[in-house]
Amino acid sequence: MQENLNFFFEPQSVAVIGASSNPNKLSFGILKNLSQYGYKGNIYPINPKSDSILDHPCYANVEDVPGPVDLAVIILPAEAIPEVLVKCGQKGIKACIIISGGFKELGEIGKQRELELQEIVQRFGIRIIGPNCVGNINVYSGLNTTFIKGMPAKGGIGFVSQSGAVCGGVVDHIVNEGIGFSHLLSLGNEMDVTETDMIAYLAGDPYTNVIAAYVESIRDGARFLEVAGSVTKEKPIVLLKAGKSESGARAVSSHTGSLAGSQTAYSTAFKQAGVIEVSSLRSLLQTAMAFDFQPLPQNNQAVIFTNAGGPAALLSDSLDTHGLRLELINESVQQELKQNLNPAAQTMNPIDMLGGATEEEYGYAMKVVHEACDASSLLPVLVPQALVNPTAVAESIIQATSERKRTTLVCLVGKQSIGEAKKILHQSHIPVYDYPEDVGEVLGAMQQYRQYREEKNEIVTVERKERSSEAVTFFQQFHGKKQFGETELRPFLEMYGILNAAGKTANSKDEALEAAKRLGYPVVLKIISNEILHKSDAGGIRLNIRDDETLNIAYSELISTVQKNAPQATIQGVIVERMIEKGEEIIVGMKRDVNFGPLLMIGMGGIYVEAFKDVSFRIAPIEENEIRRMITETVAGKILAGLRGIQYDIEAVIEIVKAISQISIDFPEIKEIEINPLKVLPLGQGTIALDSRMIME
């Protein structure tokens, strides 16, 4: 099936199948949009009941069109589309946009219709956008196959949306705002072309500087991770994910599973691929605009210029929240500022020029800072006042930043009196925000992307090694088993170099006493039961047993407590393990996500892991530097690095994460696996697994 998507965006000819002469029909709107924005290709309305529509000759069937057709836009009842699609294939059309609904969004009947379409397009090698979409816009060529009202200005934002309504709302919102787009691409049901295909196309589009995307789901997570990770090395991707709630998620059996929900996988994938995830449609547009208009900040320092203390304080807080800071302005620069500002002006940072600040004062302050300070971000804030002309201030800002060496984001706190100022700033590619908090969020996103680019992250490809015969044999002997506790899992972990605490199984109190003598006190007692995966929840662990007498008592109490708390469980015995007293406890685990594959986790371990939720995630496989970043993101990582005065063996932890990653790749049938706690010993002494569990698909 041909992979080139150019026919969707740069066709020489377009057929509108189902075109109507009725101005109240969506298909009339599509034909009108296709005709009025400068598209230079041939336009063929297909309607057997009309001779012409909007001065375009009509054809009864697509086969009747003279010459080739590159793109067909279909808006017909769902049941009629399979036959029409066959005719498109026979005509040699290689790209179709199906506007019509009535497919899988309606349930089983619709799914069957969509499967019928899939068979047809595979037979003829047709690429499909939709069904159930609003079409697409190429702003630079004038191609508009949508029924959306209005046309965006030309600019550098390539917008991809799984929702047609979001596309329409975005166009209506920005059409008079001076925010420019290269493409608007709606996807609908994604029967064929996906958001990943669109991102890959926009990556090579010379008019697109930043890709903005609204998604509700991603069908092929592994491919998205690979494509997005490649694209973000050259162009930013700003993404809004809808449907984040996991209130309906099923109960899971491991700590890793309970913390690694589907939205965690999405956010992890976005972060790992360098995608900037935002939380609202407003943030999506605001952040994309900044990436399109301005250079990336070269450091995390900023200077605020303001005529109002309150908004400047809010902006300062927002900068701090998003990892940025105000540059300290030295005394000599402050003295220079005071020469031409109000004597009562505050010349530290924020530079507060007071309510009556003029356009000359804004221009002067920005010029001084531009020449004398290192901050890469200049942030003017203006609250309209009776004696201040916002348009003149805007022109002064434009003149002061004409060299475009610094990142400039402007906050005009108001609406009614700042319209003209906002317009001329946008025309000069300086983004304007209504609220101070928005500026910090956007600048933080730009800083995040700059850091990602500098770190030169690599997307690691999966290399499944030859599984050892020993590991394969292990699974064969437990064929059909769904849950593995520590007892069964210990030898499997050791095949991958993961050391367990020394231990022995015992089926009676006497055997437990004998095991303790061989291991040496102090020891730990743990219950063995296929029905009990979390031993502590059932009262199935006794710690710090230091002599025979204490063990006798602990054994009896252990059995009695488990029988009371889990009466349905069959007790198969106990594990007697040597007590490991020194070291810090962490958790290392993996949950296999349906979209993105193995999701690795590391964080604070022990029985409180779900309460603290001090965890970091990545999608396997990952390279070593990414594991290091993963560790440093957690409080556990800071403790291991020496927060309490002792350095622990982080290199050994990295090897454990590598091992869990390799296990998840070698055995796709493993759904969840975790070591909790993993005891991390002082520097150079390694790690010891104290408990583990595994769940199979």
- Residue 261 CA to residue 243 CA, distance in Å, equals 13
Longest Cα–Cα distance in the chain = 101
Asked whether residue 277 carries a pLDDT value surpassing 50, the answer given is yes
- Residue 438 CA to residue 394 CA, distance in Å, equals 19
Mean pLDDT of 610-627: 88
Asked whether residue 253 carries a pLDDT value surpassing 50, the answer given is no
- Residue 362 CA to residue 351 CA, distance in Å, equals 10
Q: How many Cβ atoms sit within 10 Å of the Cβ of residue 12?
A: 13
Which pLDDT band, with edges at 50, 70 and 90, does 1 fall under?
Answer: very low
What pLDDT is stored for residue 364 in this prediction?
Answer: 96
- Tens of pLDDT along 27-41? 999 999 999 999 999
Q: What percent of the chain has pLDDT over 70?
A: 95
- Residue 689 CA to residue 673 CA, distance in Å, equals 13
Backbone angles phi, psi at 70, to 5 degrees: -85, -40
Q: What are 76's two structure tokens?
A: 């017909």
Q: How many Cβ atoms sit within 10 Å of the Cβ of residue 514?
A: 14
Mean pLDDT of 640-644: 87
Asked whether residue 579 carries a pLDDT value surpassing 50, the answer given is yes
Q: How many Cβ atoms sit within 10 Å of the Cβ of residue 328?
A: 11
- Residue 409 CA to residue 398 CA, distance in Å, equals 11
- Residue 409 CA to residue 686 CA, distance in Å, equals 49
What pLDDT is stored for residue 248 in this prediction?
Answer: 39
- Tens of pLDDT along 437-494? 999 999 999 999 999 999 866 556 555 556 678 888 888 888 888 889 898 999 999 9
Asked whether residue 643 carries a pLDDT value surpassing 90, the answer given is no
In the chain, the domains with their CATH numbers are: 6-208 (3.40.50.720), 294-454 (3.40.50.261), 502-578 (3.30.1490.20), 584-696 (3.30.470.20)
- Tens of pLDDT along 73-109? 999 999 999 999 999 999 999 999 999 998 888 888 8
Cβ distance 307 to 418 under 8 Å? no
- Residue 339 CA to residue 605 CA, distance in Å, equals 59
Q: What percent of the chain has pLDDT over 90?
A: 79
What pLDDT is stored for residue 379 in this prediction?
Answer: 98
Q: What are 588's two structure tokens?
A: 């290392």
Mean pLDDT of 47-69: 94
Q: Tell me which amino acid residue 538 is.
A: A
What pLDDT is stored for residue 464 in this prediction?
Answer: 55
Long-range Cβ contact pairs of 459-463 (< 8 A, separation 24 or more): 459/225, 459/226, 459/229, 459/230, 459/272, 459/273, 460/621, 460/622, 460/623, 461/226, 461/621, 462/222, 462/621, 462/665, 463/621, 463/665
* Stronger pLDDT, 441 or 594, i.e. the higher one: 441
Q: What are 368's two structure tokens?
A: 């001084």
Q: How many Cβ atoms sit within 10 Å of the Cβ of residue 48?
A: 9
Cβ distance 92 to 7 under 8 Å? no
What pLDDT is stored for residue 165 in this prediction?
Answer: 87
Cβ distance 197 to 183 under 8 Å? no
- Residue 152 CA to residue 232 CA, distance in Å, equals 25
Asked whether residue 113 carries a pLDDT value surpassing 60, the answer given is yes
Which pLDDT band, with edges at 50, 70 and 90, does 250 fall under?
Answer: very low
Of 69, 85, 30, 78, give the one whose Cα is nearest residue 53: 30
What pLDDT is stored for residue 416 in this prediction?
Answer: 87
Which pLDDT band, with edges at 50, 70 and 90, does 597 fall under?
Answer: very high
Backbone angles phi, psi at 416, to 5 degrees: -65, -40
What pLDDT is stored for residue 178 in this prediction?
Answer: 83
Asked whether residue 428 carries a pLDDT value surpassing 80, the answer given is yes
Of 273, 306, 315, 282, give the one whose Cα is nearest residue 443: 315
Which pLDDT band, with edges at 50, 70 and 90, does 252 fall under?
Answer: very low
Asked whether residue 611 carries a pLDDT value surpassing 80, the answer given is no
Separation in Å, CA 632 to CA 458, 580, 586, 635: 18, 25, 13, 8
What pLDDT is stored for residue 105 in this prediction?
Answer: 85
What pLDDT is stored for residue 442 in this prediction?
Answer: 98
- Residue 182 CA to residue 427 CA, distance in Å, equals 16
Q: What are 649's two structure tokens?
A: 């063996």
What pLDDT is stored for residue 471 in this prediction?
Answer: 84
Q: What is the 3-state secondary structure (H, E, C) of 472-509?
A: HHHHHHCCCCCEECHHHHHHHHHHCCCCECCEEEECCH
What pLDDT is stored for residue 463 in this prediction?
Answer: 56
- Residue 359 CA to residue 528 CA, distance in Å, equals 77
Can the peptide bond before residue 311 be classed as cis, meaning omega within 30 degrees of 0?
Answer: no
Tell me the pairing of strands 136-138 and 153-161: unpaired
pLDDT-wise least confident of 69-73, 148-152, 241-245 = 241-245
Mean pLDDT (the chain) is 91
Q: What are 141's two structure tokens?
A: 């060529």
Asked whether residue 263 carries a pLDDT value surpassing 70, the answer given is yes
